[in-house]
Structure 1
Amino acid sequence: MSETAVTHSSDRAVRDRPDAEADVIVVGAGPAGSTTAYYLAQAGLDVLLLEKTSFPREKVCGDGLTPRAVKQLTAMGIGFEDKGWIKNHGLRIIGGGVRLELPWPDLAEYPGFGLVRTRMDFDSILADRARQAGANLLERTNVTGPVVDPRSNRIVGVHAKTPDGERATYRAPLVIAADGNSSRLSVAMGIRKRDDRPMGVAVRTYFTSPRHEDDFLESWLELWDNTDGKDVLLPGYGWVFGVGDGTSNVGLGILNSTRSFQEVDYRKLLRRWTASMPEEWGFTEENQRGQIRGAALPMGFNRTPHYARGLMLVGDAGGMVNPFNGEGIAYAMEAGDIAADVVIQAHGRTTQQQRERALLRYPQVLSDVYGGYYTLGRYFVKAIGQPELMKYATRYGLPQRTLMRFMLKMLANLTEPSRGDAMDRVINGLSKMAPAA
């Protein structure tokens, strides 16, 4: 067993039982799983949090956190004054010959700043908060499949391999899948991805760079690739996020809404893009720190239902990445909060029938909160998949500062839920009118 895991008496107590039991099992200690476990444990539930790796760990991500994510971190009691957090004031957009700096909206609902922190220790901070709240965290514990009650056909636990290679069974009346895009647990329970939802791919690396303390997130809206000798404008964006530790996170995200999606060599595209940057930024091979790594971005609820037969999905397992901007952490944490609230209410019911009725609210709550907005996002993805429209929007839209302020609010989903300005009312109105399919 890992050194981290054996130092916690609560971990030992769980591991020493051949069939450990809990109120809830959470599979995966990323932002979705750790946030869910934190709120469940705070409410007094016996929570078992299973993580296949050990902390600290590397995850492919842009490392940028919008004010939506900052709000969730604040709610978990996490401060930002220690070393490792770098604040940013807004988004710098570059494209069509335009360089535009847009501050984050001034809202009562969300803080006026974003953050950057690498996933190397970001996830461990959240996992530690869950453990401090009372969750039993077992690292290097790889879930291999569900335990299904043959009478009810419900999941009642999981089989796993422990750090020393032994088999273990953990049981709970409710299991939460927070095991990422592939979500093997969901697949084993027959819940597969939907092909009518957008998917993205992100690749990134780090460079030692004088831009490491940039106080704006930077987004490049023109990504060109050369296919069959012809320049093609791709639906996606590049980014440069200063990490504050001497390096910049540099990457790009591409959507599957164009024919060239399957043909693009993303790593080569990133190399060509960074090679075109100003020399003084240092985005060169000798300054590269670590490999170019990629990950899928499951968007717009691409795996449903989000609750069935005792299994609840949160975060990437449920395809909760925002289709507009590829943001996943904020929505993973928000869904964790929502899921925990539903579970806590269900736990307080007196009969199994009442508990099940309460749990079945979860998909509807998610649909009410995100359904219409994600539908708009799917329309957006289809639109920018048309190269001519993308060129037109970049050329004529970017110079219009008021329009771009509106688009920042729209793409980052940063509006006041009530009593907002005219932009907020338009965005909120569109989200309510759009079908939550």
Structure 2
Amino acid sequence: MDLLVVGGGPVGLVVALRAADAGLTVTVLEPRHGPVDKACGEGLMPAARERLAQVGAAPNGHDLASIVYTDGRHRVSAPLTRPGLGVRRTVLHAALLEAADRAGVQVRHTRMIGIEPGDPRDHARPARVRTSDGQERTAPFVVAADGLHSPTRRALGLERPARLPRRFGLRAHYAVAPWSDAVEVHWSRNAEAYVTPVADDLVGVALLCRPPGRWDPTWRSFPELAWRLAGSEQTSAVRGAGPLRQRVRSMVRGRVLLVGDAAGYVDALTGEGLTLGTAQAFAAVDAVLAGSPAQYARRAPALGRRSTLLTRGLLAVSGQPAIRRLIVPAAARVPAVYRGAVHQLAGGH
């Protein structure tokens, strides 16, 4: 075995598929069976969609043409230079699992319960992973893609205390035909609601808020959204995720590389999750092929630098009520700046 991947969600499977395509023998450790649902915005920006295609996954969904910010009075739109994709998390995960099966990637349904990171300077000291099925697996390299609350990150002592305030995400779906080909970000005094078309008859709605934010099926804080969803059936249970803010000391320890949410997370405000996660997946495989975790340690922070700075800036100002109410009007007054930011987040080139 050339590579062990801890975590069989979308980013972990992209790692596995990219590595298998490069000729590596890959095993994925994932305790859950089948497509797994998760509270997320379910919008793939163009760069993420293109990376999925490169590893042989083309999930069915709804094309995305733009990103819209609205506060009910002001509205600003940024067209995407290439199409994005709104896709149910379970549909995305199923497509990646099918691609992994075609590629011969082994998925073992077991949990990581202990890890030794090994030494990249000593070939006699590979990484070692103990699993809940009583086995110990060794590999030249391990890539950990085990999510927001990564057990691998914790076991390696790579977590850092998160700064307050911390935010949470909630998500459900409504049986209604999408009224646009955009991801709409609706702003209220204390929260944002993301609307993503994921099929011809279904939209996903994700709410980002600080505690004690709660799911309000009447959407009274978002009058425009309440009007759009009036009479629509909620077709999925409300799922939650958080706290969203996760900090890491490093993305690498020994022969173990962290990718995706396991590698640290700021907030879902700018929707860069899978764009950044897939970019990290590709970079991690490049480093494994080069036999150099240090290469990933140097490159990975730069992959998300722009989106991280923008997200932190938006969070800082949106936490101040007097400034928060000016964000959408300001974007509407200088649409070129807004469109440039969206272009960068979408993986523009």
TM-score if structure 2 supplies the norm length? 0.87
CA distance 1:371–1:327, shift in 2 (3 Å): closer
Equivalent residue, structure 2, for 1:50 = 29
Separation in 2, partners of 1:361, 1:390: 39
2:41–2:271 Cα contact (<8 Å) kept:
no
Secondary structure of 1:389's match?
Answer: helix
Separation in 1, partners of 2:163, 2:78: 33
Equivalent pairs counted in the alignment come to 346
Out of 272, 275, 285, the position equivalent to 1:330 is 275
Separation in 2, partners of 1:149, 1:366: 20
Matched, 1:193 2:138: no
Equivalent residue, structure 2, for 1:281 = 229
Shift in Å, 1:243: 2.0
Shift in Å, 1:89: 1.1
Equivalent residue, structure 2, for 1:391 = 325
Query: After superposition, where does 1:285-324 map in structure 2 within 5 Å?
Result: 287-296=233-242, 298=244, 302-320=247-265
1:221-259 Cα shifts (integer Å, max 9, x gaps) = x22xxxxxxxxx22x5212222225222112123xxxxx
Letter in 1 for 2:114: G
1:402-433 Cα shifts (integer Å, max 9, x gaps) = 343234335x25443xxxxxxxxxxxxxxxxx
2:47–2:348 Cα contact (<8 Å) kept:
no
Separation in 2, partners of 1:371, 1:395: 26
Matched, 1:237 2:206: no
Query: After superposition, where does 1:167-246 map in structure 2 within 5 Å?
Result: 167-196=134-163, 200-209=167-176, 211-212=177-178, 214-220=180-186, 222-223=187-188, 233-234=189-190, 236-244=191-199, 246=201
Matched, 1:160 2:131: yes
Shift in Å, 1:380: 3.2
Letter in 2 for 1:250: V
Separation in 2, partners of 1:195, 1:23: 34
Tell me whether 88-97 or 268-277 shows the greater mean CA deviation. 268-277
Equivalent residue, structure 2, for 1:65 = 44
In the alignment, structure 1 segments of 5+ residues that lack a partner are 1-21, 107-111, 224-232, 255-260, 347-357, 417-437
Separation in 2, partners of 1:98, 1:274: 13
Secondary structure of 1:48's match?
Answer: strand
Separation in 1, partners of 2:84, 2:231: 24
Shift in Å, 1:305: 0.9
Letter in 2 for 1:40: A
Matched, 1:409 2:343: yes
CA distance 1:384–1:273, shift in 2 (3 Å): closer
In the alignment, structure 2 segments of 5+ residues that lack a partner are none
1:32–1:333 Cα contact (<8 Å) kept:
yes
Matched, 1:247 2:202: yes
Separation in 2, partners of 1:341, 1:24: 12
CA distance 1:240–1:369, shift in 2 (3 Å): closer
Shift in Å, 1:339: 0.1
Separation in 2, partners of 1:321, 1:68: 20
Out of 70, 94, 101, the position equivalent to 2:70 is 94
Secondary structure of 2:301's match?
Answer: helix
Separation in 1, partners of 2:203, 2:103: 33
1:155–1:311 Cα contact (<8 Å) kept:
no
**Highest Rg: 1 or 2?**
1
% identical equivalent positions? 24
1:205–1:249 Cα contact (<8 Å) kept:
yes
Secondary structure of 1:78's match?
Answer: coil
RMSD: 3.0
1:205-230 Cα shifts (integer Å, max 9, x gaps) = 11122x3363222111x22xxxxxxx
Separation in 2, partners of 1:134, 1:305: 31
Matched, 1:132 2:102: yes
Out of 80, 86, 90, the position equivalent to 1:116 is 86
Shift in Å, 1:365: 0.7
Separation in 2, partners of 1:156, 1:405: 44
